[in-house]
Amino acid sequence: MSTLAGREFVKMNGLGNEIVVVDLRRAPGPVGAAEARAAARQEAYDQLMALYPPRGVADVAIRIYNNDGSEAGACGNGMRCVAALLSAETGNTALGFETPAGLVSCRRADDGLFTVDMGVPRFRWDDIPLAKAMADTRAIDLEFKPSGAPSLRTPAAVSMGNPHIIFWVADPAAYDLRRIGPRLEHHPLFPDRANITLAATPSRRHVVIRTWERGAGLTKACGSAACAAAVAAARIDRTERKVTVSLPGGDLAIEWREADDHVLMTGPVEYEHRGRFDARFDAALLTDAETE
Catalytic residues: 75, 222
* Residue-by-residue DSSP string for 221-250: --HHHHHHHHHHHHHTTSS-SEEEEEETTE
Rounded CA separation 189/141 (Å): 10
Rounded CA separation 196/166 (Å): 6
3-state secondary structure at position 287: helix
Rounded CA separation 204/188 (Å): 33
* Residue-by-residue DSSP string for 9-54: EEEEEETTEEEEEEE-SSS-----HHHHHHHHHHS--SEEEEEE--
**Cβ atoms 16, 250 nearer than 8 A:** yes
**Cβ atoms 54, 23 nearer than 8 A:** no
